[in-house]
Amino acid sequence: MIRFLHTSDWQLGMTRSFLSEEAQARYTQARFDAIRTMGRIAKEKQCQFILVCGDSFESNQVGNVNRKLITCDYLILTTPEPCL
C-alpha cells in the first residue's frame, strides 16, 4: 500500500501588508514550523511522499530558505505557476 500526506496552498513567501513586521515574522515562522511538522508526521506514518497541491510558493522567485524545507525523501509539488 502506498501511503502519502496531502497538503496544499503553502503560499511560501507571502507577505501580509496589514501585519506589523514582528507579526509577519511570527506568521512566516509558524508556516515553516507547520511544514516541518508535516514532515515529521509523514516520517512517523511511514509515508512514501508528501503531495503539495496548489500554490506552494507565493511567487516563482524561490529563495534558498524555501528550498531547505524538504523534510522527507520525496516531496511532490504541483503549482499553477511556471515550473521552477
- 25: number of CA atoms within 13 Å, CB side? 3
Q: What is the pLDDT of residue 75?
A: 66
**Rounded distance between C-alpha atoms, residue 30 and residue 78, angstroms:** 22
74 CB contacts (<8 Å, ≥6 apart)?
A: 48, 49, 50
Q: Give mean pLDDT in consecutive 10-residue pieces for the chain, a chain of 84 residues.
A: 88 84 90 88 89 75 54 59 47
* pTM score above 0.75: no
- The single-letter DSSP state of residue 57 is B
CB atoms under 10 Å from CB of 42, counted, come to 22
**Rounded distance between C-alpha atoms, residue 83 and residue 63, angstroms:** 14
Give the distance from CA 67 to its chain's centroid.
Answer: 10
Q: What is the pLDDT of residue 83?
A: 44
